[in-house]
Amino acid sequence: MDTSTLERLARAWSEGDPDAQTAQEVKALLAKQDWKELEDRFGTSLEFGTAGLRGTLGGGTNRMNRAVVRRTTAGLARYLKANVPDVAKRGVVVGRDGRLMSPEFAADTAGVLAAEGIPAHVLPGVSPTPVTAFATTHLGAAGAVMVTASHNPPEYNGYKVYWGNGAQIIPPHDGGIAKAIDAVEPAKDVKVMPEAEARAKGLWRDVPASVERAYFDAILALRPTKQAGDLAIVYTAMHGVGGRWVLQALKEAGFTRVHPVPQQQEPDGTFPTVRFPNPEEKGAMDLSTALAEQVKADVVLANDPDADRLAVMARDEGGALKMLTGNEVGVLLGHFLLTQQRVENPLVVTTIVSSAQLAAIAKAKGARYGETLTGFKWIANLALSEAPKGVRFVMGYEEALGYTVGEVVRDKDGVGAALVVADMAAWCRARGKTLFGYLEEVQREHGLFVAKQYNATLPGASGASVIKGVMDAFRAKPPDRIGELAISATNDYQAQARTEGGRSTPLTLPRSNVVAYELEGGSRVTLRPSGTEPKIKFYFELRETMAAGEPLAQARARADQRLAAMEAAFLVLARARGLP
């Protein structure tokens, strides 16, 4: 984009920005003639999609700021009025996490909704994302907005939208809302009703405390065995909003030996003890691990900042603390819930990039199994679509530490999942087992599956071009084997076609830029660009056959070695197709 166009766009935007701070940011960039930064901020716009919005804070169309939030809310409100006849009666729930600018974004959201004649049901203070999702269905609202950037670094924020069914939006609503946003007037012209006026008109309503009580009652009822015993738990909120909620839930469930990490318990949008507030990142669990060793904890539970994800550490059979992967936690939850409670016609669901072990367990236990595209919106909507058939949704998970149990929350729920994992760990302890000991039981019965992920970060327009080129090249030059394993079938979710033995059959999942190779013996490799970050992701899973009586450590070492070889062989193929 030429500098004169950039200058015109930036000047017009800064003059209409309702936030003096971000307006001044842009004016300072103009004064310095920082064209590179201005092009990054104005060369494109944040794209509204099925995850809503997410981006770095700052002035510009390609940043998260009050102008973007106001225009987005106006578009959402007008789309709802055009498609939900009773939206003015039902209203929209508004929740927020503890990030920088979250209070301002939530207040602007409520003010714009009110100005559009839609009541805003505002959760008081900070709340976990799953509570916002729960409040949507509990109050019968037409939708919800959660202001959060989940586990991104502190300079990020976001805007997540739920439909009235309590699940994140999917097509056609995401596209319809995006079109409505495009038609909204400049931010300076979007009407925002002051809070006092909105309250006086009944258009700004505090979500009642009864909703919180109903949520606690609902998740407490999810525990199959309702055990606590003397299980010792360390918990970290990771400077997020889950702390109060998880501690209360565990206390009401009877867990008396719970040790919160004090440095990370209270919400703090600067995340002072971690650069990247994601439990999977190196160093993020250091404080939790140190406290766990000090108090001799059996398990460590960690939420991300908006408490929709859950990480779990446990003692292995030798007493060492180790992190369970998202796949391992999901598989254990699935097995635990299918075996420790009686449910007619049970359904478990995961995604195409998560472990296939859940499918093996479901088949063995006579349960229905569903597989969706990546993203909890698809898991929740599949569960909803099956409910009229008399199917009971038991649990769903995705490998990126996202789980939900039962039908309480139609999204990831790191609070409810923490409670059920604690119940499972207490049940294991009563049997003289750790979670890792239980995992070995499951793997001996249903197969040893090992998995890993490789991410290549490729920022900017040039990176997006490389990512597209790699995906296109694999489609144009498909491999016939990956290392020692032949490819038995290819699933191309963009073409919606499955190729096996030279024959092509249609796939029923929605179109998505994903290619999955099924390998002989039950292993698989999946490629997909990230939907929220400038990354291309490769998922590897290998199924290993264990000999009767073989020590698990021996089988695991062999599986890990074969998995590493499979990854290395695939990366050779990827680099030959343009991966840097």
> What residues are labeled active site?
150
C-beta of residue 78 within 8 angstroms of C-beta of residue 191: no
CA separation (Å) from 276 to 238, 272, 317, 375? 10, 10, 30, 21
Sorted by sequence, the CB contacts under 8 Å of residue 389 that are 6+ apart come out as none
532: which 2 tokens?
Answer: 């929220």
- Token couple for 525: 């490799």
End-to-end Cα distance, the chain = 27
* Residue in the structure block whose two tokens are 């999955």: 516
* Letter string b/e over residues 316-351, b meaning 16 or more CB atoms within 10 A of that residue's CB: beeeebebbbbbbbbbbbbbbbbeeeeeeebbbbbb
Q: Tell me the CA distances in angstroms from 530 to 148, 313, 459, 537, one per residue in order.
A: 18, 26, 12, 7
- Hey, what's the torsion of the CAs at 311, 315, 316, 321, to 10 degrees? 70
Angle between helices 552-575 and 435-446 (to 10 degrees): 70
How big is the chain, counted in residues? 580
Question: Is the bond leading into 172 cis (omega within 30 degrees of zero)?
Answer: yes
- Give the Cβ contact number of residue 89 at 10 Å: 11
Residues 432 and 298: beta-carbon distance below 8 Å: no
Q: Which residue, among 115, 35, 110, 113, has the nearest Cα to 76 in the 3D structure?
A: 113
Who's near 414: CB < 8 A, 6+ residues apart? 128, 130, 242, 303, 304, 307, 308, 309, 310, 401, 403
* H-type alpha helices, 366-413: 376-386
Question: The dihedral of CA 501, 502, 504, 509: what is its sign?
Answer: positive
